[in-house]
Amino acid sequence: MTMQDTDKALFEAAEAVRARAYAPYSKFQVGAAILADDGKIYAGCNVENAAYPVGNCAEPSAIAAMLAGGGKRIRRIYVTGPGATPVTPCGGCRQRIREFADLDVEVVSHGVDGAPLVQTLGQLLPHSFGPEFLGK
């Protein structure tokens, strides 16, 4: 599968799950799709809660799906949201991605009315703290 085909599949998975996001408060639905080390695509959406900050962002929802499905490492991640500006993972999500991805993994951030932004995790989270610092 080419990178173009991979991104198309990831985009479609992120958009499909974004349509099911539970965002009654912010009205900002986000979808995320992960290509994992097992070759499968895992998706997740944001889930809000009236008791902030109990909800989940799309990226950790996709990570949980990956782990539950048997994947262990992120090979590529695609995040979609509304508007033209790329929807990049928040700081907490960048750290969560860091736990399961190498710094050279590409993160595609896409406001679906604009062009996607492709950056490595290292660009999104420079000088990061990872599991290897804890002797893992």
Cis bond before residue 53 (omega within 30° of 0): yes
Q: Which among 59, 99, 106, 132 is annotated as catalytic?
A: 59
Q: Clarify whether 106 is annotated catalytic.
A: no
In sequence order, what DSSP letters do the residues of 56-115 get, joined into one string?
B-HHHHHHHHHHHHT--SEEEEEEEESSSS--PPPHHHHHHHHHHEEEEEEEEEEETTS-
The number of helices, as runs of H, and strands, as runs of E, in the chain is 4, 5
Run of H or E residues at 44: strand 41-45
Catalytic positions, please? 59
